[in-house]
Chains A and B, each alone.
Chain A
């Protein structure tokens, strides 16, 4: 195995483009090292992106935030302004693993590992987050929901990697929330995850809403019908129930020891309603 730690985006792209097809990006290593050590992968090249400035910064940009793909969970959790603007994204990040895992785990790694149960992905999709991808053809911006194509698979081409994620500027009375259901209180994999992002009019009417789910399909999914059920409403009980029905209809979960299909579908509706309630309280209290 060859290890490289380039200092610039361009040299990382060159290394990845010239390397074998199984070359891997290394961010926090909390998925990659587990896979390496288990012999699940044997890449000929590992490119550590943590010495590239753009992957390590949290910066204000056009009223939103640009977050380096390799910024650790601990650093994200300590960023007060980011937490205030995007409490749901930050709470999803902070759910990842233990204190030790938080010291290294990144959003870029959580996304590109492409686990259907990855906690930050539904929250990022609900937030409308956009990835900046660098590759041999230059840089492009893509919505987070277009990155994962199946368990462990992404739409990134050879030589490409995610440099940063952008969370847009917030209109007033906007807030998000993420909730996951796990059988234990810590250190477990989501059976269902739900991210909700809302904006309210001064009247309290919902003017924008995005709802995304994790662990109920081969990738995290945006559920446009669930958001549509909320827009234009005062978020009363029947509106929330229509949203939950759209959520349940979008679920195609697996059946395993952690939850049957029927159970996951039902819990997805419950988690989405509760996350919606939290986002609503946050938006109203601004």
Chain B
């Protein structure tokens, strides 16, 4: 008999988490609607906008294109794991300093994606930043301030 609900055991932002889900539910649906982690946004639901960006086993992915059951036994990191209490991640501070946001819907995705970039390439060129973030769409800022905030955060994170 096909099971209708799946029992999924996963790690979200370092905490062990269990949930029940339908096989067709996406990871994004479960993060937002079951786990109430609403930082990840659904902009398009088709992999085009990056507003749902999360890390799955250390890889940047679109949570809208992952089935929640696929997270079983794996580890997920979301925007909610980025700050430590009131202590913002350097990228978050730099986005604020550079006013790199307007409506803010795209920003959790940009932050998660930018963090993944700086972990892999601590000293990216502007071109590298723009290509890495090409899967994150923003309808407000025009991108320039976002790119500058990422480059500035990279400098701070390298020099400490």
List the interface of chain A (C-beta within 8 A of B).
Answer: 1-3, 5, 26, 28-30, 33-34, 36-38, 45-46, 48, 50, 72, 74, 97-101, 103-104, 186-187
Please tell me if the beta carbons of B62 and A101 are within 8 angstroms of each other in the complex: yes
B65 touches A30 (CB 8 A): yes
Report the separation of the CA atoms of residues A97 and B61 in the bound assembly, to the nearest whole angstrom.
11
Please indicate the chain A residues that have their CB under 8 angstroms from the CB of B131 in the complex.
186
Chain B residues within an 8 Å CB radius of A36: 24
* CB nearest to B61 among chain A residues: A103
- Name, among B46, B56, B70, B131, the residue most crowded by chain A CB atoms within 10 Å (CB to CB): B70
| Shortest 7 CB-CB contacts between residues of A and residues of B | A98-B135, A2-B2, A3-B23, A103-B59, A186-B134, A103-B61, A33-B65
Q: Which residues of B contact A26 (CB under 8 A)?
A: 67, 70
User: When chains A and B are docked, how far (Å) is the Cα of A99 from the Cα of B6?
Assistant: 29
- Of B47-55, B85-93, B145-153, the one with at least 4 CB within 8 A of chain A: B47-55
User: Is B116 interfacial (CB 8 A cutoff)?
Assistant: yes
Instruction: Flag whether B69 is at the interface (Cβ < 8 A).
Output: yes
Q: Are B134 and A33 closer than 8 Å at their CB atoms?
A: no
- Residue-by-residue, is B23-60 near A (CB-CB < 8 Å gives 1, otherwise 0)? 11010000000000000000001111010010010011
Apart from A45-B2, A99-B133, A100-B62, 14 more pairs, CB < 8 Å? A2-B2, A2-B23, A29-B67, A30-B47, A34-B65, A48-B67, A98-B50, A98-B134, A99-B113, A99-B134, A99-B135, A100-B135, A101-B135, A104-B62
Cross-chain contact of A187 among B66, B132, B134 (Cβ < 8 A): B134
| Cβ-defined contact, A97 with B113, below 8 A | no
B60 & A99 in contact (Cβ 8 Å cutoff): yes
When distances are taken between beta carbons in the complex, the residues of chain B under 8 Å from A98 are: 47, 50, 134-136
CB of A104 within 8 A of CB of B67, answer no
Which B residues, 1 to 37, have Cβ-Cβ distances below 8 Å to chain A? 2-3, 6, 23-24, 26
Interface centre among A5, A33, A48, A74 (most CB of B within 10 A): A33
Chain A residues near B67 (CB, 8 Å)? 3, 26, 29, 33, 46, 48
Size of the B side of the interface (Cβ < 8 Å), in residues, is 33
CB distance from B113 to the nearest CB of A (A): 7
CA distance A48 to B47 in the complex (A): 19
Contact B47 A34 (CB under 8 A): yes
- Whether A74 pairs with B59 at a CB distance below 8 angstroms is yes
Q: Which of B64, B113, B135 has the most CB of A within 10 A?
A: B135
- Interchain CA distance A46-B3 in the complex, whole Å: 13
B23 touches A100 (CB 8 A): no
Assuming the A-B contacts A34-B46, A97-B135, A187-B135, are A104 and B23 also in contact, with contact meaning beta carbons closer than 8 angstroms in the complex?
no
Query: In the complex, A155 Cα to B157 Cα: how many Å?
Result: 51
Q: Provide the residues of chain B in CB contact with A99, threshold 8 Å.
A: 60, 113, 116-117, 132-135
Closest approach, in angstroms, between the C-beta of A76 and any C-beta of chain B?
13
